[in-house]
Structure 1
Amino acid sequence: MIQTQPLRARYIGVSLISLALAAFASPALAAGQSSTPAQDDRTAAEAQPAAVEPGEATTNADGTDAGSGEIVVTGSRVPRAGFTAPTPITIVGTEQLAKAAPSTLAESLRQLPALTNTAGPQRNAGSQRVGQSFLDLRSLGPNRTLTLLDGRRVVSTSLTGSVDANILPSGVVQRVEVVTGGASAAYGSDAVAGVVNFILDSEFSGLKGEVSKGISQYGDNAETRATLSGGTGFAGGQGHVLVSAEYFKNDGVKPGARPWARTGVNFINNPGGTPALFLQSDIRAVGTLGGLIIGGNGGTAANNALFNGIQFLPGGVAAPYSYGTLTTATQQVGGDGVSTELIQELNRPLERGSLYAHVSFDVSDNFTLFADGMYGRSTSTVNNTYNRRQPSNPFTIQRDNAYLATFAPQIRDRMLATGVTSLTMLRFSSERGFIVTKGDSETLQGTLGAKGKIGDLKWNAYYTHGETKQSNDVLNNEITANFNRAIDAVFVTAANVGTSGLAVGSIACRVNVDTNPNNNDPSCAPFNVFGVGSPSDAALNYTRGTSASDALIKADLAAVSLAGPLFEGWAGPIDFAIGGEYRKESINFTTDALSPTGAYLLGNPTPWSGSYNVKEAFAELVVPLLKDVPFFRQLELNAAGRITDYSTSGKVETWKLGLSWKPVEDLRLRATRSRDIRAPNLSELFQAGRQSIAAVNDPFKNNVRVTGILQINSGNPNLTPEFADTFTAGAIYSPSWLPGLNLSVDYYDISIKNAISPIPAQTAVDQCFLNVQSACDLFTRDANGNITRFAALPINLASAKTRGVDFEAGYSIPRGFAGLDGQFSVRVLASYLAKQETTQPGGAPVDRAGEAGVNPFPRWRGLAQINYDGEHTGAFLQARFIGSGDYDKTRGPALIDLQHVPAAAYLDGQISKKIAAGSGEVELFLNVRNILNSAPPLAPENATLPVAYNALLHDVLGRVFRVGAKFKY
């Protein structure tokens, strides 16, 4: 198990380091400048920026750092001034990110329409990503989005190869560049949906920081965030050092803490027949916290049925159970059932801290050494579920059970009279609370590198080693075999006392007094199932344990590149970039001794390990084709190719061709065609198995809803790489008649062959009903045809396709216009989704574009921002829009009565006041998220623990306030 210091203590240490740096550098600290990018990707000349004043943007529109003079071209490896890559790009500055959502980087980025489905700490987020947030472009999955830090890969923070965006040093992030198109040829594998590149302000000099507190209107979601960053030169300006630290804590939101989260609204079977499922309120799981008899055994059918519907109240008192209405085997409306909606938190608690340090030294004008180190840790403990015995896994109480005789002798006597020998029971055990999952993740990464120039050519080389240690503990978890032994409680008699040493007349486990040494278990403590709170501490200690796992993820990366002018062409210089990369990744996954045997009710991971190495070589060209001729103000070709050799799947080739064309000064047209690649990650290949629970509506059983299905999540060594063909085409219009206005539109089409994906249980059973045999093979049914087990393993789909259009508009008025002492800007981003289609081998295509219910694929998403940045005051207003859509395109009115989910809009805002503080500045701010306290629309999840909304799409916390202060010296 991972042993680490408490986060708070580590944060104090990190803060002291930064303060010491600041004290050392204070005499020479220069006033820091924020860096916010322009809102388009034109060249600096085209952008026509206003004069830069202290504190204004120092980044040119083409990505050039105006302070350092270093050229960074987003979407390309070729660093040439004036070159605009033809790949669609969205650039977001750090100030805009902070105003949009000041809590975390991931929360800020998920405002962007292309990243709306980014997963965070919401409920039903799974137990393997507790406390982490992964970026997801185009809703194609986090493992198809490549996350970079200053253009370099980051060690994976998860078993699936993804990177938790929240470990990155947000205090010195200058901007985030989102490449919304295939970028494998330029950046490497996994960039099927695109790249999110976090650019750091590595040359920052000064001291800056932020402290903020947050709380919701309902008095929960308490949040604390603090950052502190300091940078200074040394050795007469030849060297520079930067240190940044961050601490974050959110207490989360408890289950049912919002009006829209405690209604119990979901689907249940309709006894009228049409539709097969319809929405009802107060849906509960059949069962009780104190135990419920659902039938007898050993007697006639009529006699067995005499015991149905007897529950046990506190103290073991027997009473009739109310089945409510519309009752199925697992669900009911009202009555005495258990409300499973009130188990998991609406927002999971999270505590994390991070430290980043960067140092560079100019050995000469053409040779620089650099090194950086990054440390991040997060921890979160979340509710999972009850120790639940449902119809899919009931337990049996024998007629001679000692507690039955003690608390319900009348039931035992009736069993004797009717010939019933045992009882089948359900129970949601609430003793000691829920099964909880505690996730700890710790990442450490270091990089050593050098860069320089040889004539006009630039070279760069670096080596990175990173490690992530993760522990995932499922606590208070039933040990099934121990529970089954403990509930079989009998009286100790003179006949059975044997050598047990137990007192005659006491209650013991049957295995305590078994004379067969192979069956005897003297450690067993009898478990009283009759009534809430009835089990003893000894029984709970015996029947509960921790299903634990630890993972060590390692990555070694080395890269070298050379770029610059190749020769002078007929329309300008032809530039190139070439390079090679090597990467080795490994995972060693270990568990406790019991989990691999399937001993626990939940979890039960199995040890596994795996590794692969990747060797890559790439080349890229920028070729000016035409310049300053009619209708061809500029025409450039961008071509890239990469050969990648995986140790697990062999060689693959990726490539990109792109054109950038300016027919006139104000208009740029762009288009790309690329082949992209993603090989299966280590988890998809080698994961040995982990147990969870699924729920489906079974079409083979008249769509009866079945919950509590045992789901086994495992890898598939037979996977092959997936290939994506991507086409993008767009236009950028920046009218010279209205400086500051930028408009763009981009079309994208991504088609993935052999797409690697697990099939959700509901999709699989639906496909099986349509005679897709590969889907049927994933299920196990009992003799009565009831689903008992589902194999959730990744497979190569026939295809996955997405297609749509992105829109962006921005308008910025320079400072001083109309007497304003600040800058006023407007930005609008929107995305239209035309297709989101998957095809399973042997099945028909399923297009879910336009769903805003069970799946998060609405046609329209949008974001509109208005910002005023004045000399002394600031104001920011943002509207988030999620379009309407079908609840589930595969389920028509004959199946469900909810066919449409309405559109939703949320309003956020911030006001700030700047105050001079000596040689620096302090900015106080008030940020309000979801100003109108808008509730999410009704869109129930299809989950074992269902809720009435889609947390990936909609705001589920209501109005949240944050106050804070930023300072900069």
Structure 2
Amino acid sequence: MIRETVLSRSIRLICVGGAALGMQAAWAQQPGAQQPGAQEITEPAPAVARVLVTGSRIASPNAESPSPLQVFTAADIAAAGVTNLQELLQKNPALGTPAISRTNSAFSTASAGVATAELRNLGASRTLVLLNGRRYVSGIPGETAVDLNTIPVDFIERVELLTGGASAVYGSDAVAGVVNIITKKNFTGLAVDAQLGQSEEGDDTKKKLSLTFGTSSADGASNVMGHFGYARQGAVNSRDRDRSALDQISLLAISAAPNPAEAFAAVRPFFSSYAPQGRFFHDTGDYTYDAAGNPIPWSTNGSATAAATGFNRSFYRTIAVPVERYLFATTGSLALGANHNAFFEGNYASTRVSTTIEPYPLGAEDIYPGSGGQVPAEFLVGGVARRNPVVPDYLYSRISDTDGDGLRDYYFTRRMAEVGTRGSTADRDTFRLATGLKGDMFGWNYELYTAYGSTKEAQVSQGQVNVLNFRNALEAITDLEDADGDGNTTEALCRDANARAQGCVPINVFGFNTISPAALQYVTAPGSLATRTTQRLFGGSASGEPWTLPAGPLGVAAGFEWRKEFSSAIPDALTQAGLNAGNATPPVAGSYTVREAYVEARAPLYKERPWLHALNLLAAVRVGDYSTVGNTVSWNVGFEWSPIPDVRVRATRALSTRAPNINELFLPPSQDFPSVIDPCIGVGPATAGPTAEACRADPGVAANIAANGVFTLNQADIQGVSGFNSGNPSLSEEEGRSTTIGVVYTPRAIPMLNRFVFTADYFKVDIADAIVPTDRDFALRGCYGGGGPAFCGLITRRPAAVGANSAGSLDRVDTRVTNTGNKGTEGIDLTVAWADQLGPGRLSTRLAWTHLRSLFETPEPGGPRDEDRGEVGSAMNRALLSLGYRMGQWNLTTNHTYIGESALDDSFLTSAGLAPGSVRVDSKFYHDAQLGYKLRKNVELYFGVDNLLDTNPPPILTGLPSNTTGAETDAGTYDAIGRRYYFGLRMSL
């Protein structure tokens, strides 16, 4: 019997135990099934091979997972036509909305275009991604999440998804489960896959070329493989979709008397009040300029009698960022005698991602923060007030002294269009090398390994300005003394002599395209960011069967691991100081080490008895010693019971741990500009309740109420909230308790159903001492609902009117990371699969369905439980139906993804005065198909369509929770691109 056949049968047992998803999985699981280009190695091998299954380190014949396990095969990847593994995984209902993907990361500062995975919507940091059972270096500085861009899909043999706590077996981060990526082995020959595609709108272009090659020794005992790959996915611009071409906002977000029907009613346009021609405030009002340079009244969104003077940010935004990748992967094994071999694995990925967003919105408070944004129009020179000649007469004649220094002041906002669009180009390089020894000694399987991984990112950004230089350029005077010695005493020059020596040129911000090239060069401030993440591993394991019990051999595994994680992210000096008119982003650096040891056992208790065809007990424990949090303990215990051969009942109970990552521990206060809902909106002098009383106690809010009758915000207030995010070096580990109970039914005795599989699994995860940032909206509700200093200390309001902002409006809402949270989830997974001959061809069907009973978070001890089940991104019901039919040279495969009806976040609705669940979005059904035709045995043409019916995403507009900026929907959950086509060629030599 050949080794690959044994492995195929073992994998089939895995799929029986976990009901793997996929269009062609049932075919791939049959003995002898091959992918194009794969050739079986016909070396002599034992009749029974020991295999490892995700969820256990015990190598044994006919291994089955003690926990729910799902499998994607190489056939599933090929049939989906994906260039990135995330695209396929996201169809699985067990996975949640990814924290980062191409379609939700255009505004990310250090992770745009990264592809992450998270099981059960519990966060990417709680999903452990492994490569061949070993850890993989993170793709995000300061985090543990793996960038799936760095692993070539055509080099993958299968992906095993273990849902449920697995820290006792694999260590920290496996609270929600494990994604174990298994690469191909023992491949001989050359396989080529070339693909082109684009969306129906002509964007989202896709190019892919992969070469996989391998060779083996004459006896098949040694093998080496390699893979070269190139992939490029193009951008999708917001302006190229009608639903996102114009700035808009949900009426619900700004309504004084909201009702559910307003949620999807768009105020369109809802332009930005920061415009390229500028907006200028004087003593009695404001104004702007038309294209001819004439002063005109300001009208952000226009009216029946006035054109819009605001700015459409959506023209510059993107729905999907372009990602380009060069990939190399290799693996090999060298036989060292009959029972031992040396192995190695190598990965290298070079990724380039470009982001583009609208030009920077500059406010005078960015230049003059200490004075609240009051810009001087006059200066004392020799004790005499001298006017800034760049300030036009129209404005100068309408301003007076507003800050008590005896000199005239004004305020302005301006979109820095001359500086250009903001964005960045990030070059990431990920390198990983693992090597070691494994084999069999005295009846025990052993493995010793070491690995090193590194991710580096060099990012160059544009679109920012140097705040200090901009201030110098604004402060111009007439050169009456001919300070520059050019004989001209009527010109404007920068007031500060040192600034002039450094190249300062007066800047004119009054109107369209008024900034001169020289002034532009002086104030422009390109940015940079350099990040580095490294991971060092050394470990070993052994498994065997030391004793034979009456019901069978006792399986035991034990091992150890040492690991060191390091990360740093260093922005340029101006960015660190917040002097480029953007977020103040400090450098972050940190590291930790951990030593761990574990032991695992599988004990057969009964066998071949009435209603006890098999009963096995499983247990594992792992102890760790972290340089940051000290000692940790994880464990799991479970059983497998087969009353008859066709039925298997399984259950596990586990305690998993997750140590805080580097960002959570060491992040200094880092500036952010969040979207929040002010609970004081609409509060008047007579409004009753604790919230109203707490609002009126703030002097700024009281002044606003006195001036307006009720607390009122303008558009600048809504768009101008800042805040700082901070880590916490005093964090401890979080602990997740998980329970899974399931049944597997495989009626082998019934001829028509001998390829039928049914599984049902109940899961529950409860995470205590969860590491969570304080939710800003939660902090606002807590502060103004009786929460006291713990929440109010995070909130800063403006004491009085500042420039365009209102008295009492929110200036800052900060957040910090603590161990005060509680998170959890509960639900049921059902899978059904059947494959058999039907008519002239072979039909394969598979259905997976997840019903979510609960998904919650408690941000603070004793606080209210925030239930996310059934909300956008956490639908109560999700399903994937996969169908495949092969007939002769033709092969048709389809995927049908269902996302159930969902509601907007209940906390948001409550803040808006609406009942939880009162605003809902419809369910969505997406259909993908691929048709393949074999020209000859080793050559296949294929054509595919994603989102076959061009299903539109739900309108989750700006101002609503779960909105993705630029997409006008939740682009991480729903397809925001539309129908896409691709065609390709696969062949093998």
1:906 maps to which of 915, 926, 933? 926
Aligned to 1:754: 769
Aligned to 1:17: none
Structure 2 residue 786 is matched with structure 1 residue 771: yes
Aligned to 1:136: 118
Distance across 1 between alignment mates of 2:400 and 2:975: 57
Note the residue ranges of structure 1 that are not aligned, 5 or more in a row: 1-29, 297-303, 328-332
**Deviation of residue 805 (structure 1)?**
1.2
Aligned to 2:135: 153
Aligned to 1:340: 313
Aligned to 1:828: 847
**Deviation of residue 313 (structure 1)?**
2.8
**Percent identity of paired positions between Structure 1 and Structure 2:** 27
Q: Secondary structure, in 3 states, of the residue corresponding to 2:720?
A: strand
The one-character-per-residue Cα deviations of 1:817-838 (angstroms, maximum 9, x if unpaired) are 5332xx3201111111111111
Aligned to 1:322: 299
Counterparts in 2 of 1:802-951, with a 5 A limit? 802-814=825-837, 817-820=838-841, 823-853=842-872, 856-892=873-909, 895=913, 899-916=919-936, 921-940=938-957, 941-942=960-961, 945=965, 947-951=967-971
Q: Secondary structure, in 3 states, of the residue corresponding to 2:521?
A: helix
**Deviation of residue 406 (structure 1)?**
6.3
Structure 2 residue 182 is matched with structure 1 residue 199: yes
The verdict on how the C-alpha distance between 1:962 and 1:274 changes in structure 2, with shifts beyond 3 A counting, is closer
The verdict on how the C-alpha distance between 1:527 and 1:34 changes in structure 2, with shifts beyond 3 A counting, is farther
Contact persistence 2:105–2:112 (CA under 8 A)? no
Structure 2 residue 154 is matched with structure 1 residue 171: yes
Amino acid at match of 2:63: F
Aligned to 1:584: 564
2:975 maps to which of 948, 955, 958? 955
2:491 maps to which of 506, 520, 524? 506
Contact persistence 1:178–1:197 (CA under 8 A)? yes
The one-character-per-residue Cα deviations of 1:735-779 (angstroms, maximum 9, x if unpaired) are 232111111111111111111122343333233333334333323
Q: Secondary structure, in 3 states, of the residue corresponding to 1:186?
A: helix
Structure 1 range deviating more: 944-953 or 207-216: 944-953
Contact persistence 2:388–2:476 (CA under 8 A)? no
Amino acid at match of 2:15: D
Structure 2 residue 519 is matched with structure 1 residue 547: no
Aligned to 2:393: 409
Distance across 2 between alignment mates of 1:210 and 1:944: 33
The one-character-per-residue Cα deviations of 1:577-601 (angstroms, maximum 9, x if unpaired) are 0000000111233332333222122
1:480 maps to which of 467, 482, 504? 467
1:120 maps to which of 97, 101, 124? 101
The verdict on how the C-alpha distance between 1:624 and 1:392 changes in structure 2, with shifts beyond 3 A counting, is farther
Structure 2 residue 245 is matched with structure 1 residue 262: yes
Structure 1 range deviating more: 706-715 or 362-371: 706-715
Aligned to 1:742: 757
**Deviation of residue 851 (structure 1)?**
4.1
Structure 1 range deviating more: 472-481 or 145-154: 472-481
Structure 2 residue 820 is matched with structure 1 residue 797: yes
Distance across 1 between alignment mates of 2:862 and 2:491: 61
Distance across 2 between alignment mates of 1:762 and 1:391: 27
Aligned to 2:429: 442
The verdict on how the C-alpha distance between 1:680 and 1:54 changes in structure 2, with shifts beyond 3 A counting, is closer
Contact persistence 1:293–1:423 (CA under 8 A)? no
The verdict on how the C-alpha distance between 1:892 and 1:363 changes in structure 2, with shifts beyond 3 A counting, is closer
Aligned to 1:362: 335
Contact persistence 2:52–2:63 (CA under 8 A)? no
Distance across 2 between alignment mates of 1:157 and 1:415: 53
Using structure 1 for the length normalisation, give the TM-score.
0.87
Structure 1 range deviating more: 531-540 or 257-266: 257-266
Structure 1 range deviating more: 342-351 or 675-684: 342-351
Aligned to 2:718: 706
Structure 1 range deviating more: 879-888 or 235-244: 235-244
Contact persistence 1:38–1:59 (CA under 8 A)? no
Distance across 2 between alignment mates of 1:368 and 1:876: 39
Distance across 2 between alignment mates of 1:433 and 1:691: 22
**Deviation of residue 921 (structure 1)?**
0.9
Structure 2 residue 758 is matched with structure 1 residue 781: no
Distance across 2 between alignment mates of 1:379 and 1:170: 18
Distance across 1 between alignment mates of 2:204 and 2:295: 40
The one-character-per-residue Cα deviations of 1:780-805 (angstroms, maximum 9, x if unpaired) are 22224322223343222331111111
Counterparts in 2 of 1:255-654, with a 5 A limit? 255-262=238-245, 264-268=247-251, 270=254, 272-275=256-259, 279-293=265-279, 295-296=281-282, 304-305=283-284, 307-308=285-286, 310-314=287-291, 316-324=293-301, 335-389=308-362, 393=366, 395-399=373-377, 408-415=392-399, 421-494=408-481, 497-498=482-483, 503-512=488-497, 522-654=502-634
The verdict on how the C-alpha distance between 1:846 and 1:546 changes in structure 2, with shifts beyond 3 A counting, is farther
Distance across 2 between alignment mates of 1:442 and 1:35: 38
Amino acid at match of 1:733: Y
Q: Secondary structure, in 3 states, of the residue corresponding to 2:140?
A: coil
Note the residue ranges of structure 2 that are not aligned, 5 or more in a row: 21-25, 368-372, 380-385, 683-711, 800-806
The verdict on how the C-alpha distance between 1:223 and 1:58 changes in structure 2, with shifts beyond 3 A counting, is closer
Structure 1 range deviating more: 438-447 or 318-327: 318-327
The verdict on how the C-alpha distance between 1:846 and 1:260 changes in structure 2, with shifts beyond 3 A counting, is farther
Contact persistence 2:36–2:986 (CA under 8 A)? no
The verdict on how the C-alpha distance between 1:207 and 1:324 changes in structure 2, with shifts beyond 3 A counting, is closer
Aligned to 1:248: 231
Structure 1 range deviating more: 889-898 or 861-870: 889-898
Distance across 2 between alignment mates of 1:536 and 1:239: 68
Amino acid at match of 1:895: G
Amino acid at match of 1:800: K
Distance across 2 between alignment mates of 1:868 and 1:669: 32
Q: Secondary structure, in 3 states, of the residue corresponding to 2:72?
A: strand
Q: Secondary structure, in 3 states, of the residue corresponding to 2:754?
A: coil
Counterparts in 2 of 1:226-241, with a 5 A limit? 226-234=209-217, 236-241=219-224
Distance across 1 between alignment mates of 2:969 and 2:415: 24
The one-character-per-residue Cα deviations of 1:172-207 (angstroms, maximum 9, x if unpaired) are 200100001111011111001100000111211111
Distance across 1 between alignment mates of 2:737 and 2:17: 29
Structure 1 range deviating more: 471-480 or 905-914: 471-480
**Deviation of residue 443 (structure 1)?**
1.0
May I ask how many residue pairs the two structures share in their alignment? 904
Contact persistence 1:98–1:108 (CA under 8 A)? no
Q: Secondary structure, in 3 states, of the residue corresponding to 1:112?
A: coil
**Deviation of residue 263 (structure 1)?**
5.1
Distance across 2 between alignment mates of 1:362 and 1:824: 41
Distance across 2 between alignment mates of 1:845 and 1:59: 58
Distance across 1 between alignment mates of 2:10 and 2:291: 62
The one-character-per-residue Cα deviations of 1:699-757 (angstroms, maximum 9, x if unpaired) are 12349572232233332112111001011111111123211111111111111111112
Aligned to 2:702: none
Contact persistence 1:315–1:534 (CA under 8 A)? no
Distance across 2 between alignment mates of 1:871 and 1:383: 48
The one-character-per-residue Cα deviations of 1:558-617 (angstroms, maximum 9, x if unpaired) are 111000112111211110100000001112333323332221222443223211111000
**Deviation of residue 396 (structure 1)?**
4.5
Contact persistence 2:897–2:927 (CA under 8 A)? yes
Amino acid at match of 2:359: Y
Aligned to 1:41: 15
**Deviation of residue 404 (structure 1)?**
8.3
**Deviation of residue 638 (structure 1)?**
1.1
